């Protein structure tokens, strides 16, 4: 890798010019590397020392276009809070190019916050250090939790202030994704009646993400089936860790099935299915428990774009789309129930398991119990019933509902094969102890933005890198927020 170059191979930039705009990132005055993800660097086959060198940092800041990079801003459309916008596009992001990682998988390398593009509309094309670090923290936490996600390779401050509510330090995130193709990318061409582009895009996606579809007599049907399945499983995984995306617009819904665009996202502390954090989601459209139905809605929009490809006859095409879309429910429920069983230490299947899990969740809602800690401590209780008290103590109200529930759970566990220690280990591998709790995230972002103190950010990132492994010294990261640090609203990354 000479002179901090990357072994680029840019398949998206070989698609027709109407898929993107070609332009370089806008240089910044004083780039400074504040975080480099060395493990991810190595996974991508890149040398961390070279990326951290002045030339490498210049590339990560958008000041230098490395050899082989063909920078482009991608065109896409999208439904934002239900309203269709025919042209969004990368308004503050530039795809530098693609590299093939050590697993042989193609990865986009994208700068976010790298200046204006033809898709910027009214925006400045920039990002503030807080939202950049939030995306870094939460995306890497999701990865460590085993949830499909875009990743964060680096964060660079620009030395330039940007204006939001007040003046904030500017920053650029380097994001890595299996692609940046969204439901909104298909909508962009569907809205223009550009069937040729739709076919090229679908073929590109099949080659890149779903090569098995190519072998089928109905490749576009298989494409739709696979995307429905991946999104259904993804949203189940979100629910199983208490994650709320916050802005599930169709432009933030990937075709790869990776979580993307960490804006006003957050993890719940106390369990409540109606939880909403995003300050811009005033109707609660994207509340925790609404996420499956919204994912389904987004996939219906995806299916509509595929109509011209699914069959020559329009009625036939519609019938195919209407056969595939309902498969969402089975994938979603299967993934959710399977995940809940693992969270409860159940490795055999019984009909009533779903109701058992739901009754615990209901008791948690009534008791305002901490979602993450209830499941984590249930793992301890699985090995040692005297630990029940530590779970019970998490129910701020009606703890007797937990008492009734735990007796039923024990009856159910009696029909499971493992011993207590084995069950505890299995449950701890399914129930994280460290999640990116909002109050911790806020403290880390404030220290970075207000005092250029990156130590809390580094500590938090390190804790979250092994979310299932309890370690001494990290107790504070497992704790729910004290009353005065509780976060009720999160603000968009823009």
Q: Is 91 in the site for ligand AMP (CB under 6 A)?
A: yes
Determine the Cα–Cα distance for residues 122 and 116; give it in Å rounded to an integer: 10
Select which of 251, 269, 281, 388 is catalytic: 251
Burial class (CB in 10 A: 0-12, 13-18, 19+), 44: buried
Residues shown for the chain: 494
Stretch that binds Mg ion, among 110-118, 261-269, 379-387, 455-463 (CB under 5 A): 261-269
Site string for Mg ion, 269-298 (x = CB under 5 A): ------------------------------
DSSP string over 401-442: HHHHHHHHHHHHHTTSSS-HHHHHHHHHHHS-S----HHHHH
The least distance separating Mg ion from the CB of residue 311, rounded to whole angstroms, comes to: 31
Closest to ligand AMP by CB, 120 or 418:
120
Q: Is 467 in the site for ligand AMP (CB under 6 A)?
A: no
Determine the Cα–Cα distance for residues 354 and 337; give it in Å rounded to an integer: 6
Among 64, 92, 175, 428, binds ligand AMP (CB under 6 A): 92
The least distance separating ligand AMP from the CB of residue 264, rounded to whole angstroms, comes to: 9
DSSP 8-state code for residue 27: P
The least distance separating ligand AMP from the CB of residue 260, rounded to whole angstroms, comes to: 8
Q: At what angle do helices 438-451 and 129-144 cross, to 10 degrees?
A: 140
Closest to Mg ion by CB, 85 or 401:
85
Among 75, 88, 176, 335, binds ligand AMP (CB under 6 A): 88
* Cβ-contact 268, 275 below 8 angstroms: yes
Stretch that binds ligand AMP, among 82-90, 203-211, 270-278, 454-462 (CB under 6 A): 82-90
Among 34, 90, 179, 374, binds ligand AMP (CB under 6 A): 90
Closest to ligand AMP by CB, 134 or 343:
134
Q: Tokens standing for 59? A: 């590339």
DSSP 8-state code for residue 18: G
Closest to ligand AMP by CB, 85 or 270:
85
Stretch that binds Mg ion, among 168-176, 250-258, 288-296, 405-413 (CB under 5 A): 250-258
Q: Which residues contact 130 (CB under 8 A, 6 or more apart)?
A: 168, 445, 446, 448, 449
124 interface partner picked from Mg ion, ligand AMP, none, CB below 5 to 8 A per type = ligand AMP
Burial class (CB in 10 A: 0-12, 13-18, 19+), 476: exposed
Q: Is 494 in the site for ligand AMP (CB under 6 A)?
A: yes
Q: Is 301 in the site for ligand AMP (CB under 6 A)?
A: no
Tokens 């698609």 label which residue? Answer: 15
The least distance separating Mg ion from the CB of residue 93, rounded to whole angstroms, comes to: 9
Q: Which of residues 97-126 bind ligand AMP (CB under 6 A)?
A: 119-120, 123-126
Q: Based on C-alpha coordinates, what's the Rg of the chain?
A: 23
Stretch that binds ligand AMP, among 83-91, 145-153, 378-386, 407-415 (CB under 6 A): 83-91
* Cβ-contact 2, 53 below 8 angstroms: no
251 is catalytic: yes
Site string for ligand AMP, 158-187 (x = CB under 6 A): ------------------------------
* Cβ-contact 6, 111 below 8 angstroms: no
Considering only CA atoms, which of 129, 391, 442, 455 is closest in space to residue 267? 442
Q: Which of residues 214-273 bind ligand AMP (CB under 6 A)?
A: 247, 251-252, 261, 263
The least distance separating ligand AMP from the CB of residue 302, rounded to whole angstroms, comes to: 17
Q: Under DSSP, is residue 282 helix (H, G, I), strand (E, B) or coil? A: coil
Q: Is 135 in the site for ligand AMP (CB under 6 A)?
A: no
Considering only CA atoms, which of 421, 426, 434 is closest in space to residue 468? 434
Could you tell me where the DSSP H helices lie in 325-370? 327-344, 353-367
Residue 280: phi and psi, rounded to 5, are -90, -5
Residue nearest to ligand AMP (CB): 123
Closest to ligand AMP by CB, 237 or 250:
250
Determine the Cα–Cα distance for residues 258 and 261; give it in Å rounded to an integer: 10
Residues at the site binding Mg ion, with contacts judged by CB under 5 A: 252, 261
Residues with a catalytic annotation lie at 251
Binding residues vs ligand AMP (CB under 6 A): 88-92, 119-120, 123-126, 247, 251-252, 261, 263, 493-494
């Amino acid at each position: 890798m000479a002179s901090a170059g990357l072994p680029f191979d840019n398949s998206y930039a070989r698609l027709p010019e109407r898929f993107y705009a070609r332009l370089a990132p806008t240089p910044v005055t004083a780039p400074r590397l504040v975080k480099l993800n060395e493990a991810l660097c190595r996974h991508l086959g890149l040398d961390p020392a070279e990326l951290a060198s002045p030339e490498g940092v210049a590339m990560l800041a958008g000041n230098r276009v490395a050899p082989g990079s063909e920078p482009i801003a991608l065109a896409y459309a999208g439904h934002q809070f239900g309203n269709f916008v025919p042209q969004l596009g990368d308004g503050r992001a530039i795809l530098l190019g693609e590299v093939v990682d050590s697993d042989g998988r193609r990865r986009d390398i994208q700068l976010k916050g790298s200046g204006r593009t033809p898709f910027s509309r009214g925006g400045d094309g920039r990002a503030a250090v807080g939202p950049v670090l939030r995306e870094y923290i939460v995306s890497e936490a999701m990865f460590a939790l085993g949830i499909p996600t875009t990743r964060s390779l680096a964060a660079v401050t620009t030395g330039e202030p940007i204006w939001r509510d007040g003046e904030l330090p500017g920053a650029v995130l380097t994001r890595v994704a299996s692609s940046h193709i969204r439901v909104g990318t298909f909508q962009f061409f569907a809205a223009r009646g550009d069937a040729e582009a739709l076919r090229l895009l679908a073929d590109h996606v099949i080659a890149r993400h779903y090569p098995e579809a190519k072998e089928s007599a109905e490749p576009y049907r298989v494409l739709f089936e696979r995307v429905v399945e991946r999104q259904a499983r993804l949203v189940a995984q979100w629910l199983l860790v208490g994650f709320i995306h916050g802005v599930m617009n169709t432009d933030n819904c990937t075709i790869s099935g990776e979580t993307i665009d960490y804006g006003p996202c957050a993890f719940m502390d106390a369990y409540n299915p109606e939880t909403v954090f995003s300050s811009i989601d005033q109707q609660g459209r994207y509340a925790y428990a609404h996420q499956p139905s919204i994912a389904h809605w987004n996939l219906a929009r995806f299916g509509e774009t595929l109509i011209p490809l699914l069959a020559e006859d329009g009625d036939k095409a519609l019938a195919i789309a209407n056969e595939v879309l309902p498969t969402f429910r089975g994938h979603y429920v299967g993934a959710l129930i399977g995940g809940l069983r693992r969270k409860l230490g159940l490795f055999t299947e019984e009909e009533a398991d779903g109701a058992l899990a739901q009754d615990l969740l209901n008791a948690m809602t009534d008791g305002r119990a901490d979602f993450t800690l209830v499941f984590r401590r249930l793992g301890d209780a699985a090995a040692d019933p005297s630990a029940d008290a530590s779970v019970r103590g998490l129910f701020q109200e009606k703890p007797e509902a937990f008492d009734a529930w735990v007796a039923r759970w024990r009856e159910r566990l009696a029909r499971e094969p493992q011993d207590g220690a084995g069950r505890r280990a299995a449950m701890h591998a399914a129930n994280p102890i460290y999640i990116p709790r909002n109050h911790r995230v806020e403290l880390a972002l404030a220290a970075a933005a207000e005092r250029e103190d990156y130590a809390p950010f580094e500590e938090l990132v390190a804790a979250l890198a092994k979310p299932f492994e309890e370690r001494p010294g990290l107790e504070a990261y497992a704790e729910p927020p004290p009353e005065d640090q509780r976060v009720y609203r999160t603000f968009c990354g823009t």
